[in-house]
Amino acid sequence: MRYIVTVLIAGLLACSAWAEIINGSFETGDFTGWVLQEVKGDAQVVLGGTHGSYMASWSLRGSYVFRDGEWLFSPALVTLAQQVDLSPTDGSLLFDAWVSGSCTISVYATSGDVPDLVITGTAPVTYVIPLAEWEGTGVYAGFVGEDYDEGDNHAYLDNIRIVEIPEPGSLALLGCGLGGVIPLIRRQKR
């Protein structure tokens, strides 16, 4: 039994070194943790269940909304970003997004010039960007909302988070541990 507990603790330690996105679910009702730049247009954290003419087919409460702005026919450009320390483990950047009309969201996992993902006109989807490439460094989770068309278009973001991938060494250790536990359990059953 003591052996099983030791293996479980080792497994938990392998998964516990989280790099965290602060306020990635926007439940604080403001932009705590984020650097926001409204070049043109408008960005908000939605506190109610609806926003504009869009009903809550996706739960909008506590989500980030980017839109054209006060003048619906004006082009818009808004950036939302956060610096994340990935050391010492790697992981993936996950987030839920929904983009309407001609809006796009360009997602940058680093501060490079080329976006890692460009999202256009979709229903709510969870996106994944692997970050293994930048393990042990700081990454920049940047979301640039753009809309250069006329009309009342929106982009939504929610549940932005980093999900850690246990190190291969830890996985091997966990595998060895489980390999040792299974015969023990079988022996106890007899």
Site for Ca ion in 49-88 (CB under 5 A): 62
Q: If binding is defined by CB under 5 A, does position 11 make contact with Ca ion?
A: no
- The least CB distance from residue 123 to Ca ion, in Å, is 17
Q: Which residue is nearest to Ca ion (CB)?
A: 62
C-alpha–C-alpha distance, residues 57 and 45, integer Å: 17
Give 62 or 101: the residue with its C-beta nearer to Ca ion.
62
The set of residues, in sequence order, having a beta carbon less than 8 Å from that of 64 and lying 6+ positions away, is: 26, 43, 44, 45, 46, 80, 156, 157, 158
- The least CB distance from residue 60 to Ca ion, in Å, is 9
Q: Which of 10, 11, 15, 25 binds Ca ion (CB under 5 A)?
A: 25
Q: If binding is defined by CB under 5 A, does position 158 make contact with Ca ion?
A: yes
> In this structure, which amino acid lies at residue 175?
G
- The least CB distance from residue 27 to Ca ion, in Å, is 5
Q: Tell me the sheet residues that pair with 96.
A: 126, 158
Q: If binding is defined by CB under 5 A, does position 33 make contact with Ca ion?
A: no
3-class SS letters over 143-178: EEEEECCCCCCEEEEEEEEEEECCCHHHHHHHHHHH
Token pair for 130? 């692997």
Q: Which region among 28-36, 98-106, 158-166, 182-190 touches Ca ion (by CB under 5 A)?
A: 158-166
- The least CB distance from residue 11 to Ca ion, in Å, is 29
The string over 46-76, giving b where at least 16 C-beta atoms fall within 10 Å of a residue's C-beta and e elsewhere, is beeeebeebeeeeebbbbbbbbbbeeeeeeb
Q: Which region among 2-10, 17-25, 95-103, 163-171 touches Ca ion (by CB under 5 A)?
A: 17-25
Q: If binding is defined by CB under 5 A, does position 96 make contact with Ca ion?
A: no
Task: Report the alpha-carbon angle 16-142-37, nearest 5.
Answer: 130
C-alpha–C-alpha distance, residues 109 and 131, integer Å: 8
- The least CB distance from residue 176 to Ca ion, in Å, is 39
- The least CB distance from residue 59 to Ca ion, in Å, is 7
Give the footprint of Ca ion on this chain (CB under 5 A).
Answer: 25-26, 62, 158
